[in-house]
Structure 1
Amino acid sequence: MVAAGTELTGDIELKDNFHLDGKMQGNINARGDVTIGQSGRFQGDVKAKRVLVSGHMDGKVDADRLEIVASGQVSGDIKVRELVIEPGGQFVGSSHVKKHDTPRLVQDNSDAESSAAESVAAPRNASTTPVE
């Protein structure tokens, strides 16, 4: 997590989730989810399983799912399997929808300890049906 008021420049590669409330310029490669919080400002490329934007993002996205909530703004090129834009959310750029036979970007579950820590840090709905 990068807190509000923090500025970060550089590239990040991680197995877990990432949450940005500050400012970042660089690239993120995550096997988990990337969240740009409402106060978050990100410039660069993101490759992740799921990207949730409620702040501002400028760059490329390669993900299984991109969600832009009401306060979110995304500009750039996106390559996703699913795109969700809530009323009020903004997207400016080009999009490419991945085919369903394209392999999903999945987390590495070989490390049970890391997986257990992640589920505590980022609880998910018990339902297996996608929420839109």
Structure 2
Amino acid sequence: MARHNPSAPPESVISIIAPGMQIVGDCQTEGTLRVEGSVEGSIFAGKAVVVGEAGRVIGDITTQDAVISGRVAGNLVIGSRLELQSTSVVEGEVHARRIQVEEGTLLNGSVHIGETDGSTLTHEGQSDSEEQQLPIDAGSWHRPVVAAPKR
């Protein structure tokens, strides 16, 4: 369900997973993906990913910029800027060049800020230097999430 303009470059197209829509499988776009429904699978977007307050993702997200207001159970590999809004719940490993976290965000996992050894994002959902994926237990999706303890 994307706005389609034949003359628009692919990266300017916004694809929308609407409320009530459920996608099972990986999603890939050269532009921006907005998730207001649910996705069970990895997401790769060349430009940006927006997970709305009602949005749910069980899988990894790889993109340049991301704004998360809903729930994500998976690893985030963000080439530029990640914004975690106050309603967001994230379980997984986060890699981002820059990150903004609003008060109220629930984050359970590790956070790596800055360059990722000069690597670039790939369509496989991993940075060139990232080979390890953390297993995500979908059964834990409904358990309450608490902030990770400081090390």
Q: TM-score range by the shorter chain?
A: 0.7 to 0.9
Matches within 5 A, 1:2-21: 2-21=17-36
- When normalised by structure 2's length, the TM-score is 0.65
- When normalised by structure 1's length, the TM-score is 0.74
Runs of 4+ in 1 over 6 A off after TM superposition: none
Aligned length: 105
Q: What are the Cα deviations for residues 91-111 of structure 1, in whole angstroms up to 9, with x where unaligned? A: 110111232873676xxxxxx
Q: CA separation of 1:61/1:100 partners in 2, compared to 1, >3 Å: closer, same or farther?
A: closer
Runs of at least 5 residues in structure 1 that lack an aligned partner in the other structure: 106-132
Separation of aligned partners in 2, 1:18 and 1:87: 25
1:99 is aligned to 2:85: no
Which one has the bigger strand percentage?
1
Matches within 5 A, 1:53-132: 53-63=68-78, 64-99=80-115, 102=118
1:32 is aligned to 2:47: yes
| Aligned residue identity for 1:13 | Q
Separation of aligned partners in 1, 2:116 and 2:60: 23
Partner of 1:46: 61
